[in-house]
A and B are shown apart, each in its own frame.
Chain A
Amino acid sequence: MSLSRWKLAFLAIAGLLLGPALSLSAQAETPKKGGILKFVVPDEPPSFDGHRETTFALIHPIAPFYSVLIRVNPDDPSAPDFVCDLCTEMPKPTDGGKTFTFKIRKGVKFHDGSPLTAKDVNASFQRIIFPPEGVQSARKAQFTMVESVSAPDDETVVFKLKYPSGAFLPALASPYHFIYSKAVLDKDQHWYEKNVMGSGPFIFDGREAGAVIRGKRNPNYYHAGQPYLDGFEAIFAKKESLRVQAIRGDQAAIEFRGFPPKSRDDLVAALGKDITVQESNWNCVLIVTPNSRKKPFDDVRVRKALTLAVDRWAGSRDLSKIAIVKAVGGIVFPGHPLAATDKELEQLAGYSHDIAASREKAKQLLKEAGVPDLKFTLSNRAVDQPYTIVGTWLIDQWRQVGITATQKMEPTGPFYATLEHGAFDAALEFNCQSVVNPLADTAKFLPNAGDQYGGFKDDESIKLFDAMNRTADVAEQRRLMRAYEKRTLDEEVHNFITLWWYRIIPHRSYVKGWKISPSHYLNQDLANVWLDK
């Protein structure tokens, strides 16, 4: 019941936003068959095991080989509701929202010819939710509400929850939950780390270390008529300028992560109608985390001064020209029903349109705290887009209230070691999730979250978060979310938000069928992609 209200609210907003896009897809052309899609991927995946990895570099080349239980709608991936992949219809929860019973499609075959049944789905989710000793399941913690998974027969999978939770279905729809073969898992739980054998639209067709992963068409795919492509080539290219040029020179047709605005403009200027641009807000956000263990950042006045000095509205205007950031927002994905409106945002420290007044206040607070000319080091990740650019911008923002910050850039490994050991003054870090699911996504701001590095204690915010997750009433969720947000960003300033990311995908116009979503993790099985050549 609560879910349907959710959906209604979603659909109202999504309808407004996506109306034009939907009507466009309504008059879509008939897909042509054949061709190899070449796309560039910024990184090579570590292993091939989706259950274990957390990077988009795994999703882009590997997701086309696998089926999942449920997913976002491939033809409308920005829509908030989920559709079946392997199940036959989205189940209505029973037992007061605590039991979900999925019926599994018949006649689905793995690439080795063996049939896929509910037993395989069950074995895969057992591995994800209750991993055996020695198996790393990266998203296990998102399933704390699950009590059991079972497959009473070959066509049925049942999830039983400990309590009803709005976070369950979004967690289930994560694109990483590949369905593996039970027979293979029974023999070796680690087999899938180095090998690929799924039931998805494409069959693994080889890898060249560091260079490329190939897939060829699965002729026995269960979604009728799909896939349209004969195959794909995922080409790894670390450097952004080269990826852009690869698309210019038609060495690749698309890159699925996102390009900076200037590169989009250059591509459009050079190629005109041969380039199509898709854009979307991105479910990733850059966060500044002051180290609350350390003087003077243990003083809330100092932390507040830091956020007050930042002119987000002007930053959005300026940085959206050179970096992959744009939307001003709070802790919730902008545009989501649970997100703060602009009016509500303006009540928070650092979101006022009167930046002069905010900066006066910041100077005042710094003086009161006894550090009128504060000097510190901003720890940042040595990645240009968007970290370095936003970090450099922040330093200039702080300079305007008399704060001198220097930037310490570290490669990802040392950077996270710095965070883990609390060896920083303030850090620019990020939160990046796949399915838009604020109830789970905002766990990042809890004092006891695995990836909270601020080093503070706050029982109040834990209380607010728990209450929010245990109520099914959307209005109540929204009220609690505001309180949680106010506490995090304004009263205590445990962390503060800079800008949300903005996803820009300029691709060759002959690539059809692919639709942008708010996450570079979503909708990448390529079954509905075709080439108009």
Chain B
Amino acid sequence: MAFYIAKRLLLMIPTLFGAAVLVFVLMHLIPGDICMLRLAGGGSSLDPKVLQACRTELGLDQPMISQFMVFLKGLVTFDLGTSMWTGRPVIEEVVLRFQLSLQVAIMATLTAIAIAIPLGTISAVKHNTWIDYIVRGFSIAGVAMPSFWLGILIILGILITSKAWFGSPWMPPIKYVPIWVDPIYNLSMLIWPALATGYRYSAVATRMTRSAMLEVLREDYVRTARAKGLFRKLIVRRHALRNALLPVITVIGIEFAFLIGGLVVTEQVFNLNGLGKLFVESVSNNDYTMTQALVMLVVAIFAFTNLAVDVIYAWLDPRIRVNR
């Protein structure tokens, strides 16, 4: 097992390198640069000399290859550099936002697991009954509703109901406070985006649980167990669910990593100051260093989550040999 994990860790190096190349090329392919944006974006007069000075300062007039080497050197020495937009260390910019995104991701995942596993199992066991139809309808609706639209509706709903109930409109806080500082304030802000994303996430996981369960329930060993006269609940719990969890874990693992970096749209709707929003802003600001650092961060998180998923996978299903 230790050998397997070591091997996987080594395999991450090419992944990270590939991601570094890809993000560097993508970012530099986007037309425009941060200097033009900063100096002309406000609509006041533009001085070409100042534009040149800005490009020189940020090294944008250097050849691509040397810009890439600077980036790579930073990566190897774990120095993410400074944001081109604010001129501050990337770490400083990311820390607060990371906390927020991580918390929403965890809350959404918990919501999803709490909903998905019981619903998916019951839907499979009661296959083609009205319970199945309701669960499927619920989960498919979750995948179908755009999370940004759900967000708009939630905000609208909060405004209208709070006005109806308390007389004056209430809206969730717009400023993030860490949960250990003020849990109630924190939760009253983050519960809504967590629900909006968690619902969608649970829908994906419910579907996966259901179809995996359906497949497993038809396997020989389940039929054998049934033939042996074991109780239905016991069969479901001990034999079926355990095996059905494999693809479900994959989905939850993948979706979790996606959530951290990819709360993009939800963060826009709720104006959450998280990684997703920072990402969109950095891309639209042509902030190379920030975007590259964020991508590398997300890729690293993703790679580690994948590793964790695979280790659990192997642990749950002895048929899959880890040293293969």
Contact = CB atoms under 8 A, between A and B. Distances in A.
B50 A136 contact: yes
Contacts of A44: 86
Given A416-B32, A449-B45, A248 B92 contact: no
Contacts of A236: 273
A246 B174 CA distance: 7
A65 B96 CA distance: 24
A66 B97 CA distance: 29
Interface in A76-97: none
A410 B31 CA distance: 10
Interface stretch (A16-24, A155-163, A206-214): A206-214
B40 interface: yes
Interface stretch (A112-120, A428-436, A478-486): A428-436
Given A47-B86, A194-B87, A450-B47, A249 B169 contact: yes
A192 to B, nearest CB: 11
Interface stretch (A27-35, A137-145, A354-362, A503-511): A137-145
Contacts of B43: 284, 430-433
A413 B171 contact: no
Nearest to B94: A209
B96 A209 contact: yes
Interface string A479-496: 000000000000000000
Contact of A211 (B40, B87, B92, B175): B175
Contact of B33 (A245, A270, A417): A417
Interface string B85-99: 111100011111100
Interface stretch (B14-22, B132-140, B228-236, B277-285): B277-285
A210 B277 contact: yes
A180 interface: no
A444 interface: yes
B46 interface: yes
Size range of the chain A interface in the assembly: 35 or more
A211 B273 contact: yes
Interface in B21-77: 30-34, 36-51, 53-54, 56-57
B53 A134 contact: yes
A54 interface: yes
A413 B37 contact: yes
Nearest to B97: A210
Contacts of B53: 134-136
B180 to A, nearest CB: 16
B176 A211 contact: yes
B45 A141 contact: yes
Interface string B163-186: 100000111011110000000000
Contacts of A466: none
Nearest to B93: A209
Given A136-B54, A138-B39, A141-B45, A413 B174 contact: no
B147 to A, nearest CB: 15
Contacts of A53: 38, 42
A58 B126 CA distance: 60
A415 interface: yes
A181 to B, nearest CB: 19
Interface in B255-271: 268-271
A197 interface: no
A239 B268 contact: yes
Nearest to B47: A141
B159 interface: yes
Interface string A399-417: 0000000000011111111
The winner among A139, A211, A212 for most chain B CB atoms within 10 A is A211
Interface string B282-302: 011110000000000000000
Interface string A225-261: 0000000010111110010011011011000000000
A443 interface: yes
Nearest to A49: B87
B182 to A, nearest CB: 14
A449 B40 CA distance: 12
Contacts of A418: 31-32
A248 B176 contact: no
A101 B21 CA distance: 57
Contacts of B51: 450
A239 B165 CA distance: 26
Contacts of B30: 413-414
Contacts of A211: 96, 175-176, 273
A432 B44 contact: yes
Nearest to A194: B87
A320 interface: no
Given A46-B38, A239-B268, A450-B46, A249 B171 contact: yes
From A235, A251, A416, residue with most partner B Cβ within 10 Å: A416
A55 interface: yes
A434 B94 CA distance: 33
Contact of B284 (A411, A432, A444, A450): A411
B155 interface: yes
6 contacts: A46-B86, A237-B271, A245-B171, A413-B32, A413-B285, A413-B286
Q: Which 8 A-B pairs have the closest CB atoms?
A: A432-B43, A417-B32, A249-B171, A413-B32, A54-B42, A417-B31, A450-B46, A451-B46
Interface of B: 30-34, 36-51, 53-54, 56-57, 85-88, 92-97, 155, 159, 163, 169-171, 173-176, 268-271, 273, 277-278, 281, 283-286
Interface of A: 40, 44-47, 53-56, 134-142, 193-194, 208-212, 233, 235-239, 242, 245-246, 248-249, 251-252, 270, 284, 410-421, 430-434, 440, 443-444, 449-451
Given A138-B47, A412-B41, 8 more contacts: A53-B42, A134-B56, A194-B87, A248-B159, A249-B159, A414-B32, A415-B32, A416-B40
